[in-house]
């Protein structure tokens, strides 16, 4: 009887260890994801300052950590701003053209930064103008930044210089 209980206890411990290992692995995989599946929010206006919420939606939008070894573009914008909305469209178009393995996308609503990482990005890189984009190379060095609207071709040419290096 004691052997049976000991055997059951060992199997229980082995399963608990396996479960905790799988949970920890899953958490570490999902914790490092960048903003993904970026798209424009339904109802975004390109002709009026309407506040229908932040113009970009997606998954992992609260991941605002710069990842060493990966080039990164940080987009700063605000809800209800016509220029942010138009630039958000360009950023989403860029997202569709770029391999996410070569460029991390970080999107920050300057009025509603979701966490300390986002607030730190605002303190470090945001200069007070929206929209604003900052491009970091794989070492985390600023290689390009722009305030206001900028054509997609200009952004893409800057990204092409650092992505895939």
Prediction pTM value = 0.76
Task: Tell me what pLDDT residue 33 has.
Answer: 55
- pLDDT by residue, tens only, the chain of 165 residues: 555 544 444 544 444 433 333 333 333 233 345 677 788 888 887 877 777 788 989 888 888 999 888 999 999 999 989 899 999 999 999 999 886 678 999 999 998 887 899 999 999 999 999 999 999 999 999 999 999 999 999 999 999 988 766
For the chain, give the secondary structure using H, E and C: CHHHHHHHHHHHHHHHHHHHHHHHHHHHHHHCCCCEEEEECCCCCCCCCCCCCCCEEEECCCCCCCCCCCEEEEEEECCCCHHHHHHHHHHHHHHHHCCCCCEEEEEEECCCCCCHHHHHHHHHHCCCCCCEEEEECCCCCEEEEEECCCCHHHHHHHHHHHCCC
Task: Tell me what pLDDT residue 85 has.
Answer: 93
Task: Tell me what pLDDT residue 15 has.
Answer: 47
């Amino acid at each position: 009887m004691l052997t049976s209980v000991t055997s059951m206890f060992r199997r229980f411990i082995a399963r608990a260890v396996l479960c905790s290992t799988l949970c920890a692995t899953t958490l570490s995989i999902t914790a490092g994801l960048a903003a993904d599946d970026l798209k424009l929010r339904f109802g975004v206006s390109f002709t009026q300052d309407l506040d229908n919420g932040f113009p970009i939606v997606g998954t992992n939008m609260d991941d605002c950590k710069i990842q060493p070894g990966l080039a990164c573009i940080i987009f700063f914008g605000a809800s209800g701003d016509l220029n942010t909305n138009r630039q958000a469209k360009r950023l989403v178009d860029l997202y569709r053209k770029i391999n996410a393995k070569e460029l991390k996308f970080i999107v920050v609503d300057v009025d509603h930064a979701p966490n300390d990482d986002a607030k730190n990005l605002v303190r470090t890189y945001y200069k007070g103008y929206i929209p604003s984009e900052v491009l970091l190379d794989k070492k985390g060095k600023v290689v390009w930044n722009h305030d206001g609207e900028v054509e997609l071709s200009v952004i893409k040419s800057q990204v092409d210089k650092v992505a895939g290096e």
